[in-house]
Structure 1
Amino acid sequence: MQYSSLDQFLATGKPLLAKGPVAMIFVEDEIEVDTTIRHHLDSGFTQVLVLMPEGFTLPEDVISKVHRINFDMVAGQDFTDAVNTVIAAAPGIWLYYCFNAEYLFFPFCETRTIGEMLAFHAEERRDAMLCYVIDLYAGDLYRHSNAVSLEDAHMDKSGYYALARNDPANHNHPKERQLDFFGGLRWRYEEHIPAPRRNIDRIALFRACDGLNLEPNHRFNDEEYNTYACPWHHNLTAAIVSFRTAKALKRNPGSTFDIETFKWHNSTPFEWHSRQLLDLGLMEPGQWF
């Protein structure tokens, strides 16, 4: 189905939000839109909302499987407003959001669905899940000038770290069970990345509730949603492998000519398998086996 706006979708398609998990894919450009959609359909989301500019096209094999909503971030529409609108319309439902050329991986995702994972996560009394956004980039930028290639995808195998997240409202003492995570291209090319956008943590999976709001920094107004684990043990985390930063660095005139290759001595080919991310410590299975 196609909708002229998010308001029209909620007016006519709100019953589709009665059961989750629901994925929201925000399309910024026409790069790897089809593969992003197919990947998340295969992950087991009950519904997939694709918010994209009206002039973009979708391949025939996915048109009938998603709900296309006219939405243009380039024209100034804010993805946080859209997420918060869906939150208000779907209390109690697990939601997820990402952008095109981003792909969700979670522990054992090759044999288990997103619904199975979130059912376990909810049993541990968790309403949100920390996701690490792991930068992908093409190994050969001469062949792939937009830095995107699924067949030649690379990632950093080290260089990730965390710092305490201080609370200005509490004399800058560290917040409980919250950290700021860094690494990847946003760490290596930080001179081209504004400081507020250097984090690689995103609460991309969460259960909607009354009064909950997503903020522009990918955190929520409920501090418990921003925690990486419960007080008594480690919880599941997931990873979103993303070409988004690499695309931006090559598209930006201020950085593109400074970068001949993203590869360095800690680059490794991405294997498109959760085991690689688990082995590198880039997501956590918690108590789920």
Structure 2
Amino acid sequence: MQFPDLDSFIAARPPAFTKGPSAMIFAEDGVEIESTLYHHLNAGFKSVVLFGHPEFKLDRKLQTSVIRVNYDMAAGASLIDAVNAAISIAPGAWLYYCYNAEYLFFPFCETRSIGEMMTFHGEERRDAMLTYVIDLYASNLKDAPNAVSLDDACLDKSGYYAQARLDPEVHNHPKERQLDFFGGLRWRFEEFVPPDRRRIDRISLFRARPGLVLRPDFTFDDEEYNTYSCKWHNNLTAAVCSFRVAKALKRNPGSTHDIKTFHWHNSESFDWTSQQLMDLGLMEPGQWF
């Protein structure tokens, strides 16, 4: 199924998408689009939608299993606008968004589906889930000059921290159960990253409802959606393992020549398992065992 633009997708209200759980993948370039789509199909999403330029090629299997929406990110099309439009047609459905070369991991995802996790999370009276964007990068930039390598991916095993999220409307008092999280390449190479793009937290998984709005900083206008847990115990969190920052730092003329390697003493090979991320404290199983 393919739509010529966002408006036609919204008007069609594809039944599988509006029921969910559904994944929206936004392709900024042609890097690892197919691996991103397969990863999220394998995670158990009932509907996977690719928003990207129509010239991006997909293999035959993906052509029949993925919904395509012509949406040129390079020409200024906005992830935020598309997600907010999608919210309007899928009340009650669990939705997820990410870019290409980003891969969702959640506790025990090797043996449990995204639908099972969302059902459990909803039973805990939660309508959104905090995700940490964990930077991935090739350990050898000579072999992978764009910093992307699925077979040689690394991540930082330490260097992550949190700060209170201040509320300017209440004399900058800290917001309840909200924190700003930092780390990874955005922290190590912060001189090349604008201050408003250094956080690594996103609310990537959420239940749509009428009037809900995703803001440009990947938080919602409903403050409860932005909390990391409920008031009575810890909740599940997930990780979006992402080559996006590494790609940008190597593509940007202002940083590429200053970065010879992303590897440092706290680098660790990524084994593509949820257990590694839980062992490193990069996501929380909460009460889900």
TM-score scaled by structure 1? 0.99
Q: Is the contact between residue 10 and residue 85 of structure 2 (CA under 8 Å) also seen in structure 1?
A: no
Distance in 2 between residues matched to 1:98 and 1:128, nearest whole Å: 15
Give, in whole Å, the separation in 1 of the partners of 2:18 and 2:191.
44
Counterpart mapping for 1:120-269 below 5 A:
120-269=120-269
d(CA) in 2 for partners of 1:14, 1:28: 23
Cα distance between partner residues in 2 of 1:9 and 1:20: 15
Question: How many angstroms does 1:27 deviate by?
Answer: 0.3
The percentage of aligned residue pairs carrying the same residue is: 65
Root mean square deviation of aligned Cα: 0.7
Extract unaligned runs of 5+ from structure 2.
Answer: none
How far has the Cα of 1:187 moved from its partner?
A: 0.2
2:18–2:89 Cα contact (<8 Å) kept: no
Distance 2:9 2:249 in 1: 34
Counterpart-to-counterpart distance in 2, 1:103 and 1:16: 21
Q: What secondary structure, in the 3-state scheme, does the structure 2 residue paired with 1:74 have?
A: helix
Describe the superposition over 1:7-58 as per-residue Cα deviations: whole angstroms up to 9, x where unpaired: 1122234323331101000000000000000000000001001001122111
Corresponding residue for residue 54 of structure 1? 54
Separation in 2 of the partners of 1:102 and 1:236?
A: 20
Conserved in 2, the CA contact under 8 Å of 1:14 and 1:89? no
Aligned residue pairs: how many?
Answer: 289
Where do 5+ consecutive residues of structure 1 fail to align?
none
Q: Is residue 2:74 matched to residue 1:74?
A: yes
In structure 2, the residue matched to 1:5 is: 5
Q: Which runs of 4+ in 1 moved over 3 A?
A: none
Match of 2:86 in 1: 86
The aligned amino acid for 1:228 is: Y
- CA deviation string 1:54-77 (max 9, x = no partner): 221111121100100000111011
Instruction: Report Cα offsets for 1:103-155 as digits up to 9, x if no partner.
Output: 00000000000000010000000000000000000000011000000000000
CA contact (8 A) 1:133 1:201 kept: yes
| C-alpha distance in structure 1 between counterparts of 2:262 and 2:143, whole Å | 13
The DSSP-based 3-state class of the residue aligned with 1:140 is coil
Name 2:285's counterpart in structure 1: 285
Aligned AA (1:20) = G
Equivalent AA in structure 2 for residue 189 of structure 1: F
**Letter of the aligned partner of 1:44 in structure 2?**
G
- Distance (Å, rounded) in 2 between the aligned partners of 1:192 and 1:149: 22
Aligned to 1:25, what secondary structure does the other structure show?
strand
Partner of 1:111: 111
Counterpart contact for 2:13–2:89, Cα < 8 Å: no
- Relative to structure 2, which stretch is displaced further, 16-25 or 28-37? 16-25
Quote the Cα distance in structure 2 between the aligned partners of 1:261 and 1:17: 40
Deviation string 1:197-228 (CA, Å, 9 cap, x unpaired) is 00000000000011100011000011000000
Deviations 1:246-269 (A, max 9, x none): 000000000000000000000000
| Contact 1:235 1:285 (8 Å CA) reproduced | yes
Indicate conservation of the 8 Å contact 1:88/1:209, yes or no: yes
Counterpart-to-counterpart distance in 2, 1:88 and 1:18: 10
Assess if the C-alpha contact under 8 Å between 2:239 and 2:283 holds in 1.
yes
How far apart, in 1, do the equivalents of 2:208 and 2:89 lie? 9
Deviations 1:265-287 (CA, angstroms, capped at 9, x unpaired)? 00000000000000000000000
TM-score normalised over the length of structure 2: 0.99
